[in-house]
A and B are shown apart, each in its own frame.
Chain A
Amino acid sequence: MKTRIFLPLAGAALLALTGCHTSMNTIENAQKEGQRQMISDSRVITDSSLAKKVSFVGINQSMTPGGFLKVQIELLNRKHSLQRFSYQFEWFDANGMQINNIVSPTVPDQIEGGESKFISSVAPTTACKDFRVKFIED
């Protein structure tokens, strides 16, 4: 009788525990044709919890045909649950002055457990030489 009650309860508890867990599997071509131009980065981590869920893998950049700097950041969720976050790009000129950009949104985004994803942005002017991206947990 006890087992009859215990088993459904244990099953429900297991479901409740694993219900929020998601993890992503991926497959890709092994011999890459494209070469990413990776750049060294500087990180300031004030939220270590977010840094595990939205960890930075690396940054690569390129120039568009029109001479705009394009930046791509690879993120990886090292946890097994979906994480919501927001990010914002800031751009700076050769003198380190921030370029005022009317369309610089705080972009809401999400990353599944175990997922690797890219976020990218194009500089608003050709004068932009440097950038900074802010991340915050939602």
Chain B
Amino acid sequence: MRDKELDEILDAGLKAYSAVQPRQGLERRVLGHVHSTRRFAWWHWVAVAVPVLACAVGLLLWRQSEPVQTRPATSVETSARAMAPVVRPVVVAKHVRRVGQTPKRMQFPTPAPLTREERALLEFVQRSPKEAAELLGETRDSEIKPIQIQAISIPPIKIENLEEK
């Protein structure tokens, strides 16, 4: 009898424990929150998309305004054809290079026309190749001599005071 009474009290108490009432208009607040968040989400996407698109367009424009990379001038040749005056391709820059920007070179050092001395040497080689070869051979022989190193002799250190003791 007592156990049944306790069960009844407990069941009633449990119902009361869970039967809490929210403030009025809970459904309205929930739906309002959901709709406001949905509207925010739309603007949120726009707010993200616009800067990203602007960055993409900016990057594209910047890449298009980059100077056109020309083929580098060929290296100096020792053949007769190389004797012809070097004609550098004329590059018409699309825009003025900004001050302080380091130019990007395809070949370093930049090829330059032969100097007067270089041209004279080349002419000499072409006219009298045998003499040039002999001269070159002499230079090479004189250059490739083995290095002579004298034997190093290090005398043992003698400390007079120590020996006396």
Chains A and B bind each other: no
Spell out A's residues near B (CB within 8 Å).
none
